[in-house]
Amino acid sequence: MGVQRDPAAPLLASPDSVIDPWIMRSRVESLAGEARVNLVRLAAVFAFYLRHLIAISAQGGGSEGGQYHVGATIIAGAWFAIVVAIHVCLSRRYLPGWLKYASCAFDLLMVTLLGMMRADPRSPVVLLYFPIIISAAVRLSLPLVWFATVGSALGYLAVLAHYAWRVIGYDRYYSEYWTRKELRIPRGDEALVILALIVTGVFAGQVVRQARRLTRPLAATIATSEQLESEPAIETAPAAQEPRA
């Protein structure tokens, strides 16, 4: 009759097996990274909205007043609400796999809406796509870096389409593209922004890959130490004394 192994007991590592520390620490680091990103998100929303209020008071309204002020206030309130919701989830150690994608998608949506409300893709608002890509690397998730990079490029294209098709008008924009320089956005400038987003995503992905490579030298040490702890101690029997004559 064979001996049954306790299902709750961990499998003993074989001498040739290597435990990947990245898998062991991924959930802990993902939780810590999401908490850091959420804290920076809160500080960024406060700082950018404060800058917006200062600009309104200095300019007496101007380009940041009126409907843009109302929209920016609504977006800042929604951003603060998502910060609170994520904080509640993290404080209860609730970290589903989709949470980082949902929070990143929400950030991309808010930046895209801000760019559309500014009604000009040449506005510095589009620069906010770059911190979103970098924030994906803080979570140490390579798929999230790809998601943020592709989402940023699509968001910028959406801002361009809104400007050309809605603000200026499709027929007017393309009929006067070569005659009205103040209306058109050079194709080279558009391509430069998209390439910059892609390159930023590539560098962010390399940061994640490098962090994973740095954990590999620890794999052999962890596997060896756990195997030594699992092996029972061998007691040596005392030597038998020879009988006296």
Per-residue confidence (pLDDT) for residue 16, from 0 to 100: 47
Distances (CA, A) of 146 to 11, 34, 152, 195, 201: 35, 17, 10, 14, 7
Q: How far apart are CA 171 and CA 177, in angstroms?
A: 10
Identify the CA nearest to 197 among candidates 132, 140, 144, 138. Answer: 132
Least confident of 78-82, 194-198, 240-244: 240-244
Averaged pLDDT, 69-95? 89
Residue pair 121/167 in contact (Cβ under 8 Å)? The answer is no
DSSP, collapsed to helix, strand or coil, labels residue 134 as helix
Per-residue pLDDT at 223 exceeds 60: no
pLDDT, tens digit (0-9, with 9 covering 90-100), for 121-175: 888 889 999 999 999 998 888 999 999 999 999 999 999 999 888 888 777 777 7
Query: Is the torsion defined by CA of 61, 62, 65, 66 positive or negative?
Result: positive
Per-residue pLDDT at 180 exceeds 80: no
Nearest 5°: CA angle at 22, between 20 and 26? Answer: 135
Alpha helices in the chain (DSSP H): 21-59, 67-91, 99-118, 129-138, 142-161, 170-175, 187-215, 217-230
Averaged pLDDT, 9-22? 48
Q: How far apart are CA 98 and CA 83, in angstroms?
A: 16
Averaged pLDDT, 26-51? 86
Dig out the tokens for 23 from the structure. Answer: 């898998």
Dig out the tokens for 60 from the structure. Answer: 């007496």
Tell me 92's DSSP state: T
